[in-house]
Structure 1
Amino acid sequence: MESSSVLALTTGMLARYSIQHASPSLRPFSPPAVRQRLLQPLRSLRSYSQAAAAASGAGNKACPKTTTTTKPAGAAIEAPRRYGPRYEGDFTPQPLPRPIGMPQRPRAGENTGIDDRTLSQRRHDLFDRDRNMVRRKELTEQFSRPYFRDWSNLQFHDGKSFLAPPRLFRAEASLYFPNLQGRTLAPKDKTARDTTPLLTGRASVVSVFSSRWAEVQVGSFVSSEANPALHDVVSRSPGGRAQLVHVNYEDNAAKAWLLWLFRGSLRRRFAQADWDKYFLVRRGISDDMREAVGLLNAKVGYVFLVDHHCRIRWAGSGDSRPDERESLVKGLAKLANEVDKEKE
Structure 2
Amino acid sequence: MTDFNRRNMLKALVALGGATVLGVPGVRAQAEQLVITTYGGSWEKFWRDILIPAFTEESGVEPQLDIGLGRVYTTNLRAAGKDNPPYSCLMTNEIYSTVLRDEGYFEKLDLDLVPNYADLYPVATEASDGWAAVGLISPIGIGYRTDMVSEAPTSWKDLWDNPELMGRLGLYNIQNSAGKMFLMLTSMIYGSGIDDLETGFAKLKELGPVYQTDFNMSTAMATGEIAVAPFDFGEIARLRNQGLPVECIIPEEGLMMWDQTFNICANSPAREQAYEYLNFVLGPQGQDLLMREFFVSPVNKTVDVPEDLQRDVPVSGAAMEQFIKWDWKLMNSKAEELARRWNEIFGA
TM-score range with shorter-chain normalisation?
under 0.3
Larger Rg: 1
**Which TM-score applies when normalising by structure 1?**
0.24
TM-score by length of 2: 0.24
